[in-house]
Amino acid sequence: GENVEQHPSTLSVQEGDSAVIKCTYSDSASNYFPWYKQELGKGPQLIIDIRSNVGEKKDQRIAVTLNKTAKHFSLHITETQPEDSAVYFCAAKRGYSTLTFGKGTMLLVSP
């Protein structure tokens, strides 16, 4: 089955800096890659996703890049703000299978 590795497990940045979280996946047939943000006391919320037919997608301060050859994808957050502090999860999915999640990255943005 699919295996998703996520790094780092914890990331501390200063407000205004950029943050990058990386994930690798094992199944070359995976074609859907969502990112979720989980704030304290809440369930994970989808923030951006990318499909295998594109290499990059951007939504304001958030972007995701996908390298199918290397089987990795990354989340980029620019101009970080304290409210970006949360746990971020990547996930991968092949066709009609269910999502496989990474272990999560705790992002801490200091004012």
Partner 1 sequence: ETGVTQTPRHLVMGMTNKKSLKCEQHLGHNAMYWYKQSAKKPLELMFVYNFKEQTENNSVPSRFSPECPNSSHLFLHLHTLQPEDSALYLCASSLPSDRSTDTQYFGPGTRLTVL
> In the set 104, 105, 107, 109, which binds partner 1 (CB under 8 A)?
104
Does 51 bind partner 1 (CB under 8 A)? Our answer is yes
Does 32 bind partner 1 (CB under 8 A)? Our answer is yes
Say how far apart CA 97 and CA 89 lie, in whole Å.
18
SS3 at position 24: strand
Candidate segments 13-21, 68-76, 78-86, 102-110, binder of partner 1 by CB under 8 A: 102-110
Question: H helices within the chain, ranges in order?
Answer: none
Does 102 bind partner 1 (CB under 8 A)? Our answer is yes
SS3 at position 64: strand
> In the set 18, 28, 67, 98, which binds partner 1 (CB under 8 A)?
98
Residues 58-97 that bind partner 1 (CB under 8 A): 89, 93, 95-96
45 vs 110 by CB, closer to partner 1: 45
